[in-house]
Amino acid sequence: MKQYDAIIIGAGQAGGPLARKLAEAGKKTAIIEKRWVGGTCVNDGCTPTKTMVASAKMAYMAANSGPLGVKIKSFSVDLRRIKKRKDDIVHSARDGNQKAIEKTQNLELLFGEASFTGDKTVKVKLNSGREKELKADLIFINTGAKPFIPEIEGLSEIGYLDSTLIMELTEIPEHLVVVGGNYIGLEFGQMFRRFGSKVTVIERSGRLVSREDEDISAEVTKIMEAENIAIYTDTTTTKFKKKAGGKITITLNKKGEEEKIKCSHVLMAVGRVPQSKALDLDLTGVKVDERGFITVNDTLETNVKGIYALGDVKPGPAFTHISYNDYTIVYRNLIENQKLSIKDRPVPYTMFTDPQLAHIGISESEAKKQGIKYKVAKLPFAHVARAIENGDTRGFMKAIVDPDTKKILGATVLGPEGGEIMTMLQMAMMGDITYEQIRYCVFAHPLYAESLNNLFLGLED
């Protein structure tokens, strides 16, 4: 059994940087990765999807260039070339991450699957076929999550797609049915509609992106339907059947009524589950919740002293930036003797549909539930000069403010460059800048950011 100071299981957006920093701090460190360095973000998530989103945006712009005086008679979408560009970018990012680990002194990279064998002991089934056993006082679990696939009659027999497999397609689906009307499903649904597929989205709840305020959900639906994406809400899938010619028949239940639709491909986008089961956590005493997420305290330590969980394998928001922030908190606490906590940290996020949907802080519905005093500032992009000039006025921005302190409590931006605009409001919140200060701030003209003046104009007494 080989002794280390620290073991990291999973080379994702928390594990990789943490391993390097611990090794650079003088700790003998091992990092174990069963697949590829970089985690979901680099290999299956942010990097490849946003690369493909860029291609879909270009197709949309070509198809809608007429109103701006540019006539494009025809264009074609080459999915093989889009995939190659995506693969090249992914491989470059992955290789860069791996080289950074390999050149770090005091750090050993092992490719294989890890599981606990006892108190802070880890067995690695190496991809080469051999086994190794490791031990350390500090262990960090960064194994992430994977797509959740529900048990539905016939689903396993149709060759369904998940968020990883769909990016391996080289031919554009004739009719793609997306099961799940939230962030992942809508990004892919809009993407493949722009590539030329007929797209249908099936959502079991009463509306798309149901975690958002109702007005946000309604506007997202309007945007999707404007691109001829069919939306089924209050609908569940009860049966799948693939016929000899390859066509798939889906049986739906919509408010108690049965309906059948036919398609060529099915994307399952109904959530993700933690990759914790194969770790044999019971052998080391680490607790998980009823869904398999590893429970942690406000410093990301599990119930077993010296064992930490970072990123999507623990409960809470499953975003790359949260995983990376987990690493910075753990490292600074352990090596720099700081007393940082995940409690009350900002949790921004962006859905990379076009236009983007970005959010920070509390929503209007959350403010109502909490019974707090608030005001709403709202501005359609149809009233934003830059949006008008660029020919894209879809969506609106919305902020929740405290009428007494004039501080911003939360904001949602559904519109062009929504994530960038949201981030300005996030920084204002972090710096205790009031909406009144933003209202009278001098912004360069004509930026999208300048519209923040007018967003808060309506709050004047």
Chain-centroid distance, C-alpha 137: 32
Please calculate the CA angle 265-271-276 and round it to the nearest 5 degrees: 120
Query: How long a stretch of residues is the chain?
Result: 461
Hey, is 36 helix, strand or coil?
A: coil
Cβ contact 34:112 at 8 Å: yes
For 376-383, the CB contacts below 8 A with 24+ separation are 376/400, 376/401, 377/401, 377/435, 377/455, 377/456, 377/458, 377/459, 378/455, 378/458, 379/451, 379/454, 379/455, 379/458, 381/355, 381/415, 381/416, 381/451, 383/451, 383/454
Cα Rg of the chain, angstroms: 24
Alpha-carbon distance of 114 to 134, in angstroms, equals: 10
Annotated catalytic sites, by residue?
Answer: 445
Q: Which residues contact 441 (CB under 8 A, 6 or more apart)?
A: 452, 453
For the chain, count helices (H), then strands (E).
12, 20
Residue that is written with structure tokens 């119930």 in the block: 303
- Angle of helix 183-195 versus helix 46-63 axis, rounded to 10: 40
Give the pair of three-digit tokens for residue 170. Answer: 């080289």
Alpha-carbon distance of 191 to 68, in angstroms, equals: 22
Q: Which H or E run includes 367?
A: helix 364-370
Hey, is 26 helix, strand or coil?
A: coil
Alpha-carbon distance of 293 to 77, in angstroms, equals: 40
Residue 211 DSSP one-character state? T
Q: Give residue 61's identity as a one-letter amino acid code.
A: M
